[in-house]
Amino acid sequence: MNQLLLLAQIQELGLLRYTPAGLPALDIVLKHDSTVQEAGGPRKVSMELKTVAIGETAKRVQALGVGGHARFGGFLAAQRNGRGIIFHITELTAQEAATRAPESVSGLKS
């Protein structure tokens, strides 16, 4: 099991490229901000995450565009060049502004 679910905004999009196998691929930077619970207390999280989408998912992310919000699902893997981690998107659900609002204040009002 290796499953990440992340509500995030598309901060950067590369040009659509093709893998050696001929699949469309898109390099993305996602921006995530939320408040999570850890050890009984709230913790603010703000991060940028290197991300890639391959195949049909790449075209769906491209259609969403820079600034678009979505719930992204996928897995983590090692970066091919370097020591970091990269998020591979395999599914996404676009989010409207109205449905994002509760996420941004979760844990602060309770």
Contacting residue, 11, 34, 60, 68, with a second copy by CB under 8 A? 34
Written as six digits, the tokens of 10 are 């598309």
Output phi, psi for 104, to 5 deg. Answer: -70, -15
Among 15, 20, 39, 96, binds a second copy (CB under 8 A): 39
- Contact between 71 and a second copy by CB under 8 A: the answer reads yes
Pick the binder of a second copy from 12, 17, 18, 48 (CB under 8 A).
Answer: 48
Q: What is the distance between the alpha carbons of residues 28 and 109, in angstroms, rounded to a whole number?
A: 32
The stretch near a second copy (CB under 8 A) out of 10-18, 36-44, 60-68 is: 36-44
